[in-house]
Homo-oligomer: A and B are copies of this chain.
Amino acid sequence: MRAVDLIIKKKNGQPLSKQEIHYLIKGYVDGSIPDYQISALLMAICFQGLSSEEQLFLTTEMLESGEKIDLSSISGICVDKHSTGGVGDKTTLVVAPIVAACGLKIAKMSGRGLGHTGGTLDKLESIPGYQINVSSAEFLKQVEEIGIAVIGQTANITPADKKLYALRDVTGTIESLGLIAGSIMSKKLASGANSILLDVKVGDGAFMKTIEEARELAQAMVRIGNGFNRRTVAVLTNMDEPLGYMIGNSLEVIEAIETLKGQGPADLKQLCYDLSAELLMMTRIKLTYEEAIQLIEEKVTSGEALQKLYQMIAYQKGNPNVIVDYSLFGTAPYQYNVLANEEGYIKKIATEDIGIAAMLLGAGREKKEDKIDHRVGIKINKKVGDFVEKGESLAVLYANQENSEAENKVRRAFTLQKKKTEKNPIVIDIIR
């Protein structure tokens, strides 16, 4: 078998066999097949795609390339949740405590943010003292004892995916449905949960810009999950405006806490409740949606959900008092308003640009090596369908210094019109 022949095969639109994909991935990881052959293959895949079978083969190879987390020692039902990434996406910080309060075990390894999207680890690290580096043994113990843990990657899972992703990043081959599906699912499968909920973001602020491509990705991932005998559900959710009002690390943790106190923004609350309900229904087959929502409402109202967040922060050496005293997060030195130049209804918000503006302020990374300031970010004051007066505040920037580039980006992100438009629903579709 020669790599060049397999590249040509894929270039010509023919499917690769299990053995051929094994040969390529194994050879790439052990260094016997060079970067430049794999990048040509990846580009051919971007044009010719991967069949469902090839996606399964690829996922298998990436999964088997590294360690796998064994959650079998944990009593009860272990669930996992993944978001494809958006702007202001703090759902994990709400959903994980809710489902833990409902009796599920949530054992989640999260990632960092890159580009216009934030990452859950960065948000959690805005909590003073919070440790994301936890050994596998401690991770299992924490989940068993309190039912909830959100940590960084502990074991050396899916090294093949890591190596491939780094190559895709610099060769313009990120955007390929089969590659994205394989990358996400190999990590989820290696993380060990039996039930996997996927939040596939769609819209201007997401990687998937159209419902069609988001649905295809969702279907591909559900197919892979089922192919490995994991209960897998994907929810297509709207990312045509930031989720909630807050963008930035400590700002988002605060908004998540508010939501667990029953005071969060409507869209964030609905999404978190629906995702939590889906996780409950996946694992308790006879539960109806209405019953699930009722249970969630109870756990929020009683404070049990918030208590789970408190327990997790404390267990991971963070200061849990942030829940009652937001000043512990520290505050950005400059806060200033971005004012509307005219009046009108918000027609749309260029969500990716809001994410980029937050990154420019220091809330995110352009490159992996960049440092984050956990205090900075953006609070948007207006969402799609809202009316704004001329001179009224569209958003507040939390910054270290004046930043006209970020300010202009935020101002231009809002498109106004005379008539009020209807908002798209937050949950677009569910693929089971």
Which A residues have a C-beta under 8 Å from some C-beta of B? 3-5, 7-8, 11, 34-40, 42-44, 46-47, 167, 169-173
Contacts and interface: CB of A to CB of B under 8 A. Distances in A.
A40 B3 CA distance: 15
Contact of A40 (B11, B34, B39): B39
Contacts of A42: 40
A43 B173 CA distance: 11
A8 B38 CA distance: 17
A170 B43 contact: no
A97 B192 CA distance: 75
A170 B6 CA distance: 11
A36 B172 contact: no
Given A35-B35, A37-B39, 18 more contacts: A3-B170, A4-B170, A7-B43, A7-B171, A7-B172, A34-B35, A36-B39, A36-B171, A37-B170, A37-B171, A40-B40, A40-B43, A40-B172, A40-B173, A43-B43, A43-B44, A44-B46, A44-B172
A8 B44 contact: no
**A-B CB proximity, top 10 nearest:** A7-B172, A43-B43, A35-B36, A40-B171, A8-B172, A36-B39, A39-B40, A36-B36, A40-B43, A47-B47
Contacts of A39: 36-37, 39-40, 43
B4 A172 contact: yes
B171 A46 contact: no
Nearest to A168: B40
Contacts of A46: 11, 44
Nearest to A12: B172
Contacts of A170: 3-4, 36-37
Nearest to A46: B11
Contacts of A37: 39, 170-171
Nearest to A173: B40
A72 to B, nearest CB: 40
Contacts of A7: 43, 171-172
A389 to B, nearest CB: 40
Contacts of A11: 43, 46, 172-173
A40 B7 CA distance: 11
Contacts of A5: 172
A319 to B, nearest CB: 40
A400 B167 CA distance: 48
Contacts of A172: 4-5, 7-8, 11, 40, 44
Contacts of A38: 36
A21 to B, nearest CB: 16
Nearest to A45: B43
B36 A167 contact: yes
A169 B4 CA distance: 8
Contacts of A34: 35-36
A172 B5 CA distance: 7
